[in-house]
Structure 1
Amino acid sequence: MANPSSETLPIRSIEVPPHPQWPTLSDDERTQLRSRIRRLLQAQNAVLVAHYYTDPELQSLAEETGGYVADSLEMARFGTETDAETLVVCGVRFMGETAKILNPEKRVLMPDLRATCSLDEGCPADEFTAFCDAHPDHTVVVYANTSAAVKARADWVVTSSIALPVVEHLAARGEKILWAPDKHLGHYIERVTGAEMLLWNGACVVHEEFKSFALERVRKLHPDAAVLVHPESPDEVVDQADVVGSTTQLIRAVAELPNREFIVATDAGIFWKMRQIAPDKILIPAPTAGEGATCESCAHCPWMAMNALQNLEQVLLTGDQEIRIDPAIRERAVVSIQRMLDFARERGIGRPART
């Protein structure tokens, strides 16, 4: 059942773009394009940082060129540790903004600055600020999937891999928590920790589409499969999970659990890394099919799909998709992000082995 506090907030209509249709490349064209990108990265002292949800072509190229493939927490860390002068962030805009906030002296590029996120879009900074001002006795904790301006209003920024221990820490100190923007992730954390949380009414357009009744059907067809669920999913889906966790935690589960089959409820881009580290495992996409659906599982973010080899090369040639952040906003936002990174370092959270 949804947290009552989130029901008092309006549900914002998000305009979801169609998935981009990139031209099919021949093997020779792909090889030549990847070679040109490698040369451009080297010439510009640039490094490629890709999220697990991006196209496998980008993930593999990042690893082949000394870059990094990771969740948003580890992407943020990597950007601060590399000597590269330019960070090319393949993901969605809040990831590029976070990289720039932590590395103001570096150039941060993205293949397409229009690649946003439904959680970010559903939490406008002015409305969120007013919501926080109405509850001054709450500690403000925001998910990484938010704009730089929202992060600047927060006390803490968290990713899904660190949200639970941060909230447990705050609750143990007796703090009341205002959480934004994902209501499903917030409600999951609330249930696990018992913390008092006031929830913003946002949701991920990908994870909200997983269907509990369809998942039950797939589980019956694969009774020995472990169910892996990202906590941005609705309660009815989370409740069927064997493992609930961040992208990194779900990838680790595929490698470590003895099951041969896994039903995976998160963005399908994650399958590349899962297959890389556990090639003998069978991965089954959790169903999103509902009334009138045209596919059994449509779980891929349309904004993540805006990242491709073609526009990656273009941005390296032109440099015209550069992240820029108001210095006053950056000065405030870096405090809440750095607080998360310091907490993670102190508690030994994250830092998966690089492959």
Structure 2
Amino acid sequence: MTSSVVNEESQFVRDHLNAKIEAVVAADADEKTLLITEIKQLLKQEDAVMVAHYYTDPELQALAEETGGCVADSLEMARFGRDHPASTLVVVGVKFMGETAKILSPEKRVLMPTLEATCSLDLGCPIDEFSDYCDQHPERTVVVYANTSAAVKARADWVVTSSIALQVVKHLTDQGEQIIWAPDKHLGNYVAKETGADMLIWDSACIVHDEFKAKALVDLKSVYPDAAILVHPESPQSVVDLADEVGSTSQLIAAAKNLPNKQLIVATDKAIFYKMQQAAPDKLLIEAPTGGNGATCKSCAHCPWMAMNGLTNLRDVLKLGHQEIVVEESVRLNAIKSLNRMLSFTPDK
């Protein structure tokens, strides 16, 4: 067989494979379009609104925006869900966010695409162990991060998100209070360092942010010397120390918009790029490295539980009405006290 014939046959095979791939891609796109159309119809039919976190997949964030829902951090998700008139909230995120919505809106039906989507911080702070720990230090004010179960929130005096953690702890410290902090040790250490607070800090961490590496970040900065480094305070202190801006998801999005740098190295879940790029369309967003040398991916910064939310299970929960969040009323009544303190908090002047 001549080389020209072989080349012709090889080209035929390549063309045939490419045509198959294009057909599959087109079919997938058509199926996704139909799925999105069905979800939009079901949202109207069920008097439902989507409340999605910045760390969910961009197609879900876009759908929430298109349907009058909310894409936000956990603090704004809580406020939006409480204040929206819809009778059903579809919380696209992780389970503690659904529980928070139900605590604040007990009269509403709260659904999630999956109840299996949890959080390493929630898992790392079981209520029995945490309650025993608090009992050993009754003189201390208990401040817990929003990334905790309803039961842990019910045991707390305050709930905070990363956007107001510094202000709340400073407020308590100014009043002479000593604090138990849970569950994120990196955020707790950052807050203690910035405020000088007397804090006992629970030992747990976010599996995403805990993986950011200072040495790899320094190496990346050498490639992009003009880039600003944006870091979520759930990251290790060695990473926080390299930051030009430290803050919550909403604060980092604002920083991306306001900083003069045209290149930004971002150390948080990469799904935030969807909203961050909207805020700063003219800037280059670069994923901060996580795994270091020998890692299987350049950056593994996407929460595996957030990634469990998808269009198919979103459609299914609206269609079937399953995956409903339930919070025991006695737990809810205690948890709402600490949550309302967070929602009504005004920083000291």
TM-score, normalisation: structure 2: 0.91
Alpha-carbon distance, 1:276 to partner: 1.4
Q: Match for 2:295: what amino acid?
A: A
1:52 aligned residue? 54
Query: Conserved in 1, the CA contact under 8 Å of 2:240 and 2:246?
Result: yes
Q: Give the alignment partner of residue 154 of structure 2, picking from 145, 152, 155.
A: 152
- TM alignment of 1:71-220, pairs within 5 A: 71-220=73-222
* Unaligned ranges ≥5, structure 2: 1-23
The size of the alignment, in residue pairs, is 325
Q: Deviations over 1:262-305 (max 9, x none)?
A: 00000001000011121111000000122531011010000000
Q: Name the amino acid aligned to 1:249.
A: Q
**Residues 161-310 of structure 1 correspond to what in structure 2 (within 5 A)?**
161-310=163-312
Offset at 1:54? Answer: 0.1
CA deviation map 1:140-173 (0-9, x unaligned):
0000000000000000000000100000000000
8 Å contact 2:51–2:64 — kept in the other structure?
Answer: yes
Offset from partner CA, 1:164-191 (integer Å, 9 cap, x none) = 0000000000000000000000000000
Letter in 2 for 1:136: P
Aligned to 1:12: none
Structure 1 residue 37 and structure 2 residue 39: aligned?
yes
For the residues of structure 2 that align with 1:65 and 1:348, how far apart are their CA atoms? 37
Distance 2:94 2:291 in 1: 25
What secondary structure, in the 3-state scheme, does the structure 2 residue paired with 1:132 have?
helix
Runs of 4+ in 1 over 4 A off after TM superposition: none
Q: Which amino acid aligns with 2:176?
A: G
- Residues 55, 270 of structure 2: 8 Å contact kept: yes
Amino acid aligned to 2:31: E
Q: Equivalents in 1 of 2:294, 2:141: separation in Å?
A: 42
Mapped to 2, the partners of 1:347 and 1:212 lie a distance apart of 32
Q: What residue in structure 2 maps to residue 3 of structure 1?
A: none
How far 1:228 moved relative to its partner?
A: 0.1
C-alpha distance in 1 between matches for 2:35 and 2:348:
39
State the Cα distance separating 1:348 from its structure 2 match: 10
Letter in structure 2 aligned against 1:154: A
For 1:203 and 1:274, the matched residues in 2 are separated by 24
Cα offset, 1:31, TM superposition: 1.1
Question: Corresponding residue for 2:324?
Answer: 322
Give me the whole-angstrom Cα distance separating, in 2, the residues matched to 1:284 and 1:176.
Answer: 39
Higher Cα Rg: structure 1 or 2?
A: 2
Percent identical among aligned pairs is 66
Distance across 2 between alignment mates of 1:123 and 1:193? 24
Partner Cα distance (1:221, 1:348) in 2: 41
Q: Distance in 1 between the 2:292 and 2:221 partners?
A: 17
Rounded to whole Å, the distance in 1 between the matches of 2:348 and 2:282 is 30
Cα shift readout 1:240-267 (whole Å, capped 9, x = no counterpart): 0000000000000111111100000000
Whole-angstrom CA distance in 1 between matches of 2:235 and 2:148:
18
Question: 1:332 offset after TM fit, Å?
Answer: 0.2
- Measured in 2, the distance between the counterparts of 1:167 and 1:348 equals 11
Q: 3-state DSSP class of the match of 2:260?
A: coil
- Aligned to 1:33, what secondary structure does the other structure show? helix
Distance 1:347 1:129 in 2: 28
Q: Does the CA-based 8 Å contact 2:230-2:267 persist in structure 1?
A: yes
Which residue, 66, 69, 72 being the options, matches 1:64? 66
Distance in 2 between residues matched to 1:145 and 1:199, nearest whole Å: 15
SS at match of 1:26: helix
- Which amino acid letter does the alignment assign opposite residue 91 of structure 1? G
SS of residue matched to 1:311: helix
Write the letter of the residue equivalent to 1:244: V
List gaps (5 residues or longer) in structure 1: 1-22, 350-355
CA–CA separation in structure 1 for the residues paired with 2:226 and 2:348: 33
Query: What's 1:8 paired with?
Result: none
Q: Distance in 2 between matches of 1:93 and 1:206?
A: 17
> What secondary structure does 1:104 align onto?
coil
Q: 2: CA distance between counterparts of 1:347 and 1:199? A: 23
The CA deviation at 1:347 is 4.0
Q: Structure 2: how far apart are the matches of 1:245 and 1:285?
A: 16
**CA separation in 2, counterparts of 1:259 and 1:122?**
37
The whole-number CA distance in structure 2 between the counterparts of 1:107 and 1:50 is: 16
- Cα RMSD of the aligned pairs, angstroms, is 1.4
Q: For residues 76 and 254 of structure 2, what CA distance do their matches in structure 1 show?
A: 14
State the alpha-carbon separation in 2 of the partners of residues 338 and 110 from structure 1: 23
Aligned equivalents of 1:55, 1:149: Cα separation in 2: 28
